[in-house]
Amino acid sequence: MKKFVMIHDENLCIGCQACSVACKNENQIPSGVFRVQVHAKMKGVFPNLQTDFTRASCVMCEDSPCVSVCPTGASFKLANGITLIDENLCVSCKYCILACPYNARFLNPITKAIDKCTFCYPNRVSDGLTPACVSVCPTDALIFGDINDNNSEVNKVLASKSVEYPKAHLGTKPKLGFIKNTKGGRYE
Ligand code: SF4
Ligand code: SF4
């Protein structure tokens, strides 16, 4: 059984938002709401400034609070680790929005259902493609693949680099990890 994992290498990210735009195009996300964004945070004192770029999206928790609280079964997990939403079962109670520690969910003003990143599973990954964000990233800052495939790129990165997980102390076991920025995004 495949288990999908994504890693955002913050050292390679240039904050171009191509991932966010590609996601919107691929998934027809209306203006004003996002499944994926990259946030920029500047630190240091001029001229020694550094910008950290962090990805904000669903982190595909293994133990998902959104699934636990959903009263209708609209929020559910696939065996491959991806959490999805069945729009037909969603009653827009917003319990999942409150339960998500990553602020990853929003009300889609078109569908009137709750929406979030799906790793593009229904529309791309199930056909053997990579998620739209991964496919357009100009610096290969996003690495995606099957953790159960020993030869996958994602496994090589996990074996060779220090990958951290957002709010790991909560015990939700995210499947979206990041490599902390140590040198990228500097203005010199
Ligand atoms: S497309 Fe790649 S480099 Fe651009 S913001 Fe997204 S992750 Fe960063
Ligand atoms: S808003 Fe929809 S997906 Fe979220 S908890 Fe309620 S029924 Fe489930």
Q: How far is the CA of 73 from the centre of ligand 1 (A)?
A: 33
- Give the pTM: 0.93
**Which residues of 25-141 form beta strands (DSSP E)?**
37-45, 48-56, 75-77, 83-85, 106-107, 114-115
What's the mean per-residue pLDDT of the chain? 95
Of 3, 9, 10, 1, give the one whose Cα is nearest residue 145: 3
Q: How far is the CA of 92 from the centre of ligand 2 (A)?
A: 5
Taking the centre of ligand 1 as the mean of its atom positions, its distance from the CA of residue 9, in whole angstroms, is 9
> Which residues are CB-neighbours of 165 under 8 A, at least 6 positions away?
59, 173, 174, 176, 177, 178
Where residue 122 falls among pLDDT bands split at 50, 70, 90? very high
Percent of the chain with pLDDT over 90: 91
The Cα-based distances of 62 to 34, 59, 65, 139, 167 in angstroms read 22, 9, 9, 28, 13
Alpha carbons 15 and 37: distance in angstroms, whole number: 9
**Residues with Cβ within 6 A of ligand 1?**
13-19, 38, 53, 137, 139, 141-142
For range 129-154, the mean pLDDT: 97
Place of tokens 């319990």: 95
How many C-beta atoms lie closer than 10 Å to residue 21's C-beta?
Answer: 15
What pLDDT was estimated at residue 47?
84
Q: What is the mean pLDDT of residues 40-65?
A: 93
